[in-house]
Amino acid sequence: MSLQEKETLELAQAKMQEYLQDNAVCSMDEYVQHGTTSTLQHCLSVVRISCAIAAGLHIRVNYENLILGALLHDFYLYDWHNHVDEGVLHGFAHPHIACKNAAMRFHVNAEVQHIITTHMWPLTLRFVPRSREAVIVCLADKYCSTLETAAGMVHAAAALFRKRRV
């Protein structure tokens, strides 16, 4: 990573801290995403993994767009486990809801909106990631989701095992 890229990454991370002061962003910590992981924890993991992928593979990216897209990719602001959205499954609907919320609240640019709306590809076949940042966030989301779901399953199995032993 070049010095300029490192400085850009540090500026983008500092800007992310401003978003983490926002009440709506903080409210994502109230909703469970995968297993026992909150939506905010999940999004922060996607930020961390996205930056690691870009830096580790020496991929030139706009770190501000990458970080904001990763942070806000699940900015839908509801508990998806008991939310009904006119017959549309959460996996298909939430990228567009998150994008609308991010655009309304933070006026994010078109590239950040693209990252948010395409992060569920290939489930959302028509919405294909077309930038390096969008592909990285999409992959990081799959990686984090898999780990979080598996950890939740292990946690649930351990709790069941402890319960049976008593």
pLDDT in tens, 73-95: 999 877 766 766 666 665 667 89
Least confident segment among 9-18, 51-60, 87-96, 137-146: 87-96
Q: What is the mean pLDDT of residues 96-103?
A: 95
The pLDDT of residue 46: 95
**Top-confidence residue, 65 or 82:** 65
Q: What is the mean pLDDT of residues 21-46?
A: 90
pTM over 0.95: no
The pLDDT of residue 61: 94
Does the pLDDT value for residue 42 go beyond 90? Answer: yes
Q: What is the mean pLDDT of residues 5-26?
A: 84
pLDDT in tens, 126-148: 888 999 999 999 999 999 999 98
> Is 42:145 a contact under the CB 8 Å cutoff?
yes
**Top-confidence residue, 5 or 117:** 117
Torsion over CA: 77, 82, 83, 85 (sign): positive
Average pLDDT of the residues of the chain: 85
Proportion of the chain above pLDDT 70, given as a percent? 81
What are the residues whose beta carbons fall under 8 Å from the beta carbon of 146, sequence distance 6 or more? Answer: none
Task: Please tell me the distance from the alpha carbon of residue 45 to that of residue 62, in angstroms, as a whole number.
Answer: 18
Q: By three-state DSSP, how is residue 88 classified?
A: coil
The pLDDT of residue 14: 85
Q: For residue 134, which of 68, 52, 84, 37 has the smallest C-alpha distance?
A: 68
